[in-house]
Amino acid sequence: MKLFFALYVKELKANKTLFFFLLLLITGMNAYGIMQIAYVRHFHDVIESSNNLPFILWPNFSYFWPMLGVFTLVFSLPLLLAHAFNTEWKSETHYQMFAIRASQYIVNLAKIATVASVGFVGGGIVVCSLYLWMVTAAESVDGVFVNGVLELMSFPHFALVTGLILVTYVVFIFGLVIGMEGVKFSVKRYRGLTAVVFFLGSVFLYGRLFQQGERAFEFLGQTAMPPFGVVNVAPCVYTILTGVIFMIIGLVMYEKRAEI
């Protein structure tokens, strides 16, 4: 456990600037989107009487920045995880990594935990910011946002559902990335092509078995997410399970077959 923690801290220190920049960027996007709503009331009073189109677009445009923060987070996480693996080889420090008297499982799990920590903090920022955006939007302009959202959904409920969706995505995409990295470094030639083939094959297999997997977990039911409807739990569980399987494949391949 001490070795795992030491490797975890090492990864954090090695990438602290990149991690800090990403979290700061996400925070800034969400803060700017929330501040934009302060101008909505002004546009409501000044432009609504003229039935001008910009008033229709402006409140919706304030939603762009929080959503951009979401997309920035979800697209950055797999790139950060791949970066954590690839930098060892590009900087030629992978010899030291394999020389450590410990299982490569521990080394790789430390990398995963490091990026997952960034995802946890970034996810918390995104979830809190989205809810704050909804609260601010609902209080600023009646009818611009979905009426009754504050009465229909509490923050714990919103955080639970959005957190489930985010965790589902993170586990699945981490599984894909780790599987790609494990398979890629198991061969000496055509590593990029091997990773692409694994990615395409995994996505195809996931989609091919999606309906069967969803039916297998239908007994878990649904969870309400008013006013947006309900969220089926079965697809989330199937996706998480698939991501874990891909992750195990990548870790095993990296441990047993990685070519130095």
pTM of the model: 0.78
Model pLDDT, residue 201: 92
Model pLDDT, residue 181: 86
User: Domain coordinates of the chain in residue numbers?
Assistant: 1-150, 153-260
Model pLDDT, residue 84: 83
Model pLDDT, residue 239: 92
Question: Which tokens hold the place of 219?
Answer: 């007994």
Model pLDDT, residue 41: 54
Do residues 62 and 40 lie in contact, with contact meaning Cβ atoms separated by under 8 Å? yes
pLDDT, tens digit, 9 for 90 and up, residues 112-149: 899 999 999 999 998 888 888 777 766 655 444 444 44
Model pLDDT, residue 87: 79
Tell me the C-alpha distance between 187 and 37, whole Å: 53
Model pLDDT, residue 229: 62
- Mean pLDDT, consecutive 10-residue stretches, the chain (260 aa), reads 80 86 89 71 51 46 75 90 79 58 77 90 88 70 46 73 88 92 80 87 91 83 62 85 92 70
Residues present in the chain in total: 260
Tell me if the bond preceding 66 is cis, omega within 30° of 0.
no
CA atoms within 13 A on the CB side of 22: 24
Q: Which of 232, 216, 24, 239 is nearest to 118 (CA)?
A: 24
Model pLDDT, residue 16: 85
Model pLDDT, residue 55: 43
DSSP-derived secondary structure for the chain: -HHHHHHHHHHHHHTHHHHHHHHHHHHHHHHHHHHHGGGHHHHHHHHGGGT-HHHHHHHHHHTHHHHHHHHHHHHHHHHHHHHHHHHHHHTT-HHHHHHSSS-HHHHHHHHHHHHHHHHHHHHHHHHHHHHHHHHHHHHHSTTTS-TTHHHH--HHHHHHHHHHHHHHHHHHHHHHHHHHHHHHTT-SS-HHHHHHHHHHHHHHHHHHTHHHHHHHTGGG-EEE-TTS-EEEHHHHHHHHHHHHHHHHHHHHHHHHH---
* Four-point Cα dihedral 119, 222, 149, 62, nearest 10: 40
